[in-house]
Chain A
Amino acid sequence: MLLTLILLPIATAFLILYSSTRIQYLLSAAVLGVGSFLSVSLFMSTERVSFHLPFLLNAMIIAADLVLLIYFLVQGKKFNSPKVIVLAAAQLLLYIYAEYAAPSGRSAEIVVDELSRFMFLIINIVGGIIVLYSVRYMEDESVEPYKKRHFIAAMLLFLSVMNAIVCANSLLLFFFLFEMTTLASYQLIAFRNDEISRANALRALWMNQIGGVVILAGTLVAALVLDTVMLDTLLQHSGGMLLFSVALLSMAALVKGASIPFDGWLLGAMVAPTPVSAMLHSATMVKIAPYLILKLAPVLGTTLLGGVLSITGALVFVAAAYLALSRSIFKEILGYSTVALLGLMMALAAIGTKESMMLSMVLMLFHALSKALLFLAAGVLEKQYHLKSIEEMSALVHRAPKTVGFIVLGFVSLTLPPFGLFMGKLFAITSVASLLRERPLLLIVLVSMIIGSTLLVLLYFKVSSALLSNPSDTVRTEKERIPQGFSIPLVLLSLLILFAAVGFIVIQHDVLLALFTLPLLFVFALPSMIRSMEHYDRTAIYHCGEKESFDAALVYYEPSVRIKGMIYWGFGILFVAVAFVGVLS
């Protein structure tokens, strides 16, 4: 089953290169169907699968990795970016040394445990839906047909890379796949091939390469001192250098999760076509960050390193939510809120108790669903209405009621009860509060979690102020038509969000929680009551008796340059501090 999960997208990718649009729909729907079926059935089974890779495949991976790093070098040379060249060269050297120093494998390179099964769920279901969506999205893109097919094929290939990375046990294999995701991100950001996307792609490349370098450094430490490159054996060790290696690996997670000061690459990545933003930069790829921390969590536990990591994550949550308040491009706002929530997930994972790790996973799932929905809706706005900035979206509900409905559902599902993400935060507050007596340091995490959540509420509903303002209903609204290629993925995601929320409440066995749904049920009942409102007089809005109506401006909160500088320097220092703490403990 595992092999099917990895190979099916690859096979489909090749088929898609030679097929018409209709077949593309069929194929991507098939990938979605088969992928989600397999991942669900894998999730149900509880056995731990592990196996060795054949020697030939290992050799091929090494060769591919070398080619990949040389490709990065060439790209750096081609676009004249010294950072890329230096980092690629460093990686090349480190990689060769690591391969040389790595002890011959005593345990399996591929291990499928509970966490991997959970990740399969996210990757295949959400990812599959996004691939289905991207077929329709590409129809409207003004590029050559072969490029469109390449795009979809690349998305599919990326799916299989993701499927592989979450069950990689060998750190070198993990590094290879990590670099593959970097490559995918680089290629897809540069898809439109104009100046801005080139520059942003290069920035994403070098920032992610820092992650590659620290992974290799961590691997080297593990190989030289602890004599293993396998994650599971590594984590069974104890002693000083283990934490150093773990610290280096978790720094890679901070880079991949675009934590401040690395948020630049994720923000820049928003110039890519929307399915890319949805798939790579919010729903699946950046989830490697919390995934990696979750993997390492058993040794983080009560160590100082775990404390520093969870504080970093929690502070990123607040800072990114705050920085997002100054943005006006819809996708950038979503991007920043992704950074924020990834910070929260990493913080929870790094706390390392069973409950907090479970909550981190829950947040990952619900975040993937909601953010995918939001990004796909943003794509509809972009393609159907040519809107990118929230400044242009004033009174959008009048023109595009359905799309706005999806967006508001997305916002609500990210912030309010009874949806999963909110529930995750709620339980996180209770679980952190119950840990406070033993670990007072977690108070920082708790306070930032509380402030960050309210800032996110402010952020999302500030945006919705632009979308929602509606004139009196005596003015006729036009009917909105969303093409089926767009509406089916959106509806699927919305249903998944609702079902997952209901399911999550049901498995809590808490009657009181179910009561959170009551106010919402009332809101759902609203449309049926609208008919009974016919007999009330309609009136114009109050604007001081003026004849011309005027709109309120959107509000932004821009931090001053000094504060911004302080935020970036502070997080830069925290990032380095992670390594130091690793060395010291």
Chain B
Amino acid sequence: MIWVWIALAPILGGLVYGGERVLRARMQRRLGPPFLQPFYDMFKLLDKRTLIVHAPHALLAVAHFFALWFSVAAIFLGWNLLYIVFLHLIAQMLLILAGYSVRSAYSHLGANRELLMLVAYEPILILVAVGLYLVSGSFEITGMIQKGNYLAQLPLLFAALLMIVPIKVKKSPFDVGEAHQEIVGGVEIEYSGVFYEFLYMSRFLEYLFIYSFVFIFGGESVWLGAVLVAGVFLLVNLVDNATARVRTPQMIKIIYMAAMPLAVLNLVWILL
């Protein structure tokens, strides 16, 4: 059964993304695209003629997608959370190398920003894993979701996680990595057709990846987890519609000045 879910992961993420586009449109009081729009986009991209810059660049996007899928699969299987964070790191690095591998200013800027985003969210993700470990006594997700009530013990850590969700799903105020108005999508700029499709789908997987971190905070109660995910989903979209983009150094500063102390403070609190 779990394998079916893993196989369907991109589709699941696509549904989330489609729902999000509708939700955002409704927040702006407009009709918005159909719910299944992401899949229409995917089918259309398959039908386009594909232009590439050079072969390794195109293939690294495919590698990025599969590595990301792999890390999402690892979450579904309930493996070691720390390993999952680093599997995700590999996926991100493949994307960044792809961005650097073409001689394109926008692609390089985008990859630079991806790197800086990594510097911002990676420590928080690891601290989240460590915090959950300290409370539950296990790094395995299967062990973590057998204990309850992380929110009571790790509220600040949850707040820190909340601050990095917009970075991962590329939403304002932390959507510097994509920033269509300034760097035209960053690393994805040189992709088209089939290969862009892989990047488009990996965006769906990013949703699953980061929201499953939120879900784990629900602990043994699936309902609490679901409520948390839904709440964070609404909140992130609300903030996205209400705020402007900050610059990359400001983003780093905000994360290191606000989210990091929160996370560390929470760890100190449960240790003492």
Query: Is A in direct contact with B (CB under 8 Å) within the complex?
Result: yes
Question: Interface on A for B, CB 8 Å cutoff?
Answer: 395, 397, 408, 412, 415-417, 422, 426, 429-430, 433, 436-437, 440, 443, 446-447, 450-451, 454-455, 457-458, 461-462, 464-465, 468-473, 512-513, 515-516, 518-520, 522-523, 526, 529-530, 533, 536-543, 549-552, 555
In the complex with contacts A433-B130, A443-B267, A468-B97, A450-B59 CB distance below 8 A: no
Contact A472 B59 (CB under 8 A): no
B58 in contact (CB, < 8 A): yes
Question: Interface on B for A, CB 8 Å cutoff?
Answer: 49-60, 63, 66-67, 70, 74, 79-80, 82-83, 86-87, 89-91, 93-94, 96-97, 100-109, 111-112, 115-116, 118-119, 122-123, 126-127, 130, 133-134, 139, 184, 189-190, 264, 267-268, 271-272
6 contacts between A and B (CB under 8 A): A433-B130, A443-B264, A457-B89, A469-B108, A519-B90, A542-B104
Which of chain B's residues have a CB closer than 8 A to the CB of A461?
Answer: 93, 96-97, 100, 115
Contact A533 B51 (CB under 8 A): no
Which of chain A's residues have a CB closer than 8 A to the CB of B272?
Answer: 440
Contact A462 B115 (CB under 8 A): yes
In the complex with contacts A417-B90, A440-B268, A458-B118, A470-B102 CB distance below 8 A: yes
CA distance in complex: A133, B123 (Å) = 39
Contact B105 A551 (CB under 8 A): yes
Contact A541 B104 (CB under 8 A): yes
CB-based nearest A residue for B84: A512
CA distance in complex: A408, B94 (Å) = 12
Greatest chain B CB density within 10 A among A454, A464, A471, A513 is at A454
CB-based nearest A residue for B189: A542
Contact A523 B111 (CB under 8 A): no
CA distance in complex: A551, B105 (Å) = 5
Which of chain A's residues have a CB closer than 8 A to the CB of B93?
Answer: 412, 415-416, 457, 461
CA distance in complex: A457, B70 (Å) = 21
Contact B58 A447 (CB under 8 A): no
Which of chain A's residues have a CB closer than 8 A to the CB of B53?
Answer: 472-473, 538-541
CB-based nearest A residue for B126: A450
Interface of A is mostly: helix
Partner of B108, one of A457, A516, A539, A551: A551
CB-based nearest B residue for A539: B51
Minimum CB–CB distance from A447 to chain B (whole Å) comes to 6
Which of chain B's residues have a CB closer than 8 A to the CB of A430?
Answer: 82, 139
Partner of B126, one of A429, A520, A530: A429
Which of chain B's residues have a CB closer than 8 A to the CB of A536?
Answer: 50-52, 58
Contact B134 A433 (CB under 8 A): yes
Contact B86 A458 (CB under 8 A): no
Contact B109 A552 (CB under 8 A): yes
Which of chain B's residues have a CB closer than 8 A to the CB of A513?
Answer: 83
Minimum CB–CB distance from B124 to chain A (whole Å) comes to 9
Which of chain A's residues have a CB closer than 8 A to the CB of B50?
Answer: 536-537
Which of chain B's residues have a CB closer than 8 A to the CB of A450?
Answer: 122-123, 126-127
Partner of A429, one of B67, B82, B96: B82
Which of chain A's residues have a CB closer than 8 A to the CB of B112?
Answer: 462, 465, 552, 555
Partner of A530, one of B56, B103, B130, B268: B56
Greatest chain A CB density within 10 A among B55, B109, B184, B271 is at B55
Which of chain A's residues have a CB closer than 8 A to the CB of B55?
Answer: 473, 529-530, 533
Minimum CB–CB distance from A186 to chain B (whole Å) comes to 38
Contact B100 A464 (CB under 8 A): yes
Contact B271 A440 (CB under 8 A): yes
Contact A512 B119 (CB under 8 A): no
In the complex with contacts A433-B134, A440-B272, A541-B103, A426-B86 CB distance below 8 A: yes
CA distance in complex: A408, B21 (Å) = 39
In the complex with contacts A416-B90, A443-B268, A526-B63, A541-B107 CB distance below 8 A: yes
Partner of A469, one of B52, B63, B100: B100
Contact A443 B103 (CB under 8 A): no
CB-based nearest B residue for A427: B82
Which of chain A's residues have a CB closer than 8 A to the CB of B184?
Answer: 542
CA distance in complex: A516, B93 (Å) = 14
Minimum CB–CB distance from A552 to chain B (whole Å) comes to 4
Contact B100 A465 (CB under 8 A): yes
CA distance in complex: A470, B123 (Å) = 31
Contact A516 B90 (CB under 8 A): yes
